[in-house]
Structure 1
Amino acid sequence: MSIKPELVERCEGGYWMHSQFPRTEVDSEVEGWVSKNQLESHFVFMESDIDEDEHPAYERYFHTGDPDFHDWEPGKPEGQGWFVGGIYETEAGPVCAWLRPISESLKETFLNAHKQAVKAAYDYFCACDVGDERIQASEVYERIRTATRIGG
């Protein structure tokens, strides 16, 4: 992946764009860029991310019409590897485009599946009677359990 996280230094109004993020309002162009760069995207809109009664940026932006949302800190999606692609304005209001390499979500999927496999192998081992089948189940369980260890 050639797209790397960059230091986010927002302007006085709260805007910021990654140097490689496409400068376009066409969703399909952004989606194409995300796909081409093997990224996953998640868009967090200020309107649904903060409480309108408790956050001054909401009042300023949506009620007063002031385009300043510098004090909005966008909520980060669950999972590892997310970084900011841009914090900018859309027709629906301010949005934060979060990005991460597709490999991060695949890694999460793999590790979750591995945990399930370890549990299933252990349950199988426990269900086996003492003897050859239990010995084989023990060996399978041990191989699965240690399969994600780095360096042996």
Structure 2
Amino acid sequence: MRKLITAMEPQRDECGFWTHPDYFEPADGREYSYPGEFAAWLDANRVTGLLQWMENDVTDEQLEALEAGDGDISKWIPTPPAGEGWFIGSIHDTEDGPVCYWLRPVEGEPTALADLISRCHVEALKIELLRLHRECTKVAHAYFCACDLGEERVAAGEMYQQIRLATRRGGY
């Protein structure tokens, strides 16, 4: 199981940029992601995101001062979105200007959690099925081991084998 992205204190460079070490990276070392790849990363990390443009988060005077600084945006302190749990995923430059990408666990946003559950429902059910199957296999084996020699043990052995092999038939 891989580690999910969690909040950490940004360590901005001399120009004010920073990207969380666990932040999204496009596959195959590409500069841009495939369609849907970033959304899949958000789902896999159980976070929702919000893009904030620097130009919309500072006054006109601050923007002029920041733009006159040869790409130095270190004086920009991004304003967190409303609500609890937001943390910075990345402060980086784009072709259209600097941005801050905020992240928050989906549990902090009921609609995002409901959307994630809806999208991942089948996958979540599969994971739960396999977890319960492992438990059931252990219990069936324990039952088999506890039975005295005879018909009950033979029946318990057959039950254990059927349960143990059940998910293998489906290719899991």
TM-score between the two structures when normalised by the length of structure 1: 0.61
1:118-148 C-alpha deviation (Å, 9 max, x unpaired): xxxxxxxxxxxxxxxxxxxxxxxxxxxxxxx
Offset of residue 67 of structure 1 = 0.7
Tell me the distance in 2 between the aligned counterparts of 1:51 and 1:30. 31
How many matched pairs? Answer: 106
Check conservation: 1:16, 1:88, Cα contact below 8 A: yes
Could you say which residue in structure 2 is the equivalent of 1:84?
88
How much has 1:60 moved relative to structure 2?
Answer: 4.3
Maintained 8 Å contact 1:41/1:98:
yes
Separation in structure 2 between the aligned mates of residue 70 and residue 47 of structure 1, nearest angstrom: 14
Q: State which of 2, 5, 8 in structure 2 corresponds to 1:6.
A: 8
Give yes or no for contact 1:3–1:37 (8 Å, CA) kept in 2. Answer: yes
| Residue pair 1:40, 1:99 contacting (<8 A) in 2 also | yes
Give the C-alpha shift of residue 65 in structure 1.
Answer: 6.7
Residue in 2 aligned with 1:37? Answer: 45
Greater helix fraction, Structure 1 or Structure 2: 2
Larger Rg: 2
Letter in 1 for 2:92: Y
Unaligned runs of 5+ in 1: 110-152
Is the Cα–Cα contact under 8 Å of residues 16 and 73 in structure 2 kept in the other structure? Answer: yes
Matched, 1:52 2:60: yes
Partner of 1:132: none
Letter in 2 for 1:44: Q
Name structure 2 gaps, 5 residues minimum.
Answer: 114-172
Give the C-alpha shift of residue 12 in structure 1: 0.8
Q: Identity percentage over the alignment?
A: 35
Q: Residue in 2 aligned with 1:20?
A: 22
**TM-score, scaled relative to structure 2:** 0.54
Structure number with the bigger relative contact order (C-alpha 8 A, sep ≥ 6) is 1
* In structure 2, C-alpha distance between the alignment counterparts of 1:66 and 1:59, rounded to whole Å: 11
Q: Which has more strand, going by share of residues?
A: 1
1:103 to 80, 103, 107: 107
Structure-1 residue corresponding to 2:130: none
